[in-house]
Chain A
């Protein structure tokens, strides 16, 4: 889950990287986005303090989070540490 907002510059870098990644892992991993401006309560509930924040959920539970932009290789490595990509 990508926590982002329209005014966040780094989020604009993250978006296309995630789109590429989503296409690559289609059927195995769902990539979702959450706009923190429109969903402030949800962002607060997850303790988001900086964006972009990526949270990796497995079987509905948070297993890890990545704060700041994750470049393509970094993203694959990070997700790969928890899930077979």
Chain B
């Protein structure tokens, strides 16, 4: 571990002043909209709180070209800017954060232990806000060529594909949005979808159908991604007639949904069949006392920035109630 990661918690006078040990009131796992909002509320409640994020603060907002449905920004706002604002806002109220990967989470004597790279933290409560990751196709060549022509984020990688023929796999809102975004760089974009209709919102479908650079390959699935050092195309199978064709693409963008980041929490809290955390709608309490879930990681109807921030606020409200009931607050 670098020096950077050794600063923070144990050396923080704020933590030591309030508690005789290194025990925290709350650890928030995940630094997307849900986690950062929870961090803001917890910092304002003057909890001894630490937020741990392994990648970039902002979560999936960072990979959104423009957020058009978050209130307060009538012109829309670039995802990375909104992510920055969320982070600044939480830090303005003194939230401490760490850029580290959580290795393990378990419970012992009514406390929760969170193992980081080189040491373990103890906390009375947890908010799980680890979000989700892009779903993979699970075909040959995909893992090997990731970042070498296979991408899960058009806004991140699109600019490296100027003038090329690109494929977007999927049929939902994200797939169509990404396809439209990629037309800025690409010569042509082909949306490859396993069915013969899109799931995307009608307004997005209209935009895609009317765009001269966007075409469709219906009833088609990818069997393999081709290429040695760089992706050069796909082996595509038509589900109607069973024919298999090799089609050349300079880049393949995969947008077939997300799966929750809950591998660490198996055995700690109840998960549903898809791996989402099951939490009470009114309190966000999970099956483990003192553990709450917020944002995309939990089972819920609508996954948006607007609903994630609501979760973050509510989860802290429930944490405060939990700590009060256990007489853990000063």
Contacts and interface: CB of A to CB of B under 8 A. Distances in A.
B89 interface: no
Most buried by A among B2, B146, B156, B161: B2
A16 B4 contact: yes
A32 interface: no
Given A16-B4, A71-B101, A50 B156 contact: yes
B230 A49 contact: yes
Contacts of A8: 156
Given A8-B156, A20-B2, A20-B4, A49 B251 contact: yes
A47 B229 contact: yes
Interface residues of B, number: 30
A71 B56 contact: no
A9 B3 contact: no
B147 A73 contact: no
Those 7 A-B pairs whose CB atoms lie nearest each other, nearest first = A67-B147, A9-B62, A20-B2, A50-B147, A9-B56, A72-B2, A50-B157
10 contacts: A9-B58, A9-B62, A9-B83, A13-B56, A43-B160, A47-B229, A50-B147, A50-B156, A67-B147, A67-B148
Interface of B: 1-5, 54-56, 58, 62-63, 80, 83, 99-101, 117, 146-149, 151, 156-157, 159-161, 229-230, 251
Interface of A: 5, 7-10, 12-13, 16-17, 20-21, 24, 36, 43-44, 47-51, 53, 67-69, 71-73
Given A43-B160, A49-B151, 17 more contacts: A8-B156, A9-B62, A9-B80, A10-B55, A17-B99, A20-B2, A36-B160, A47-B148, A47-B229, A49-B148, A50-B147, A50-B151, A50-B160, A71-B54, A72-B2, A72-B5, A73-B1
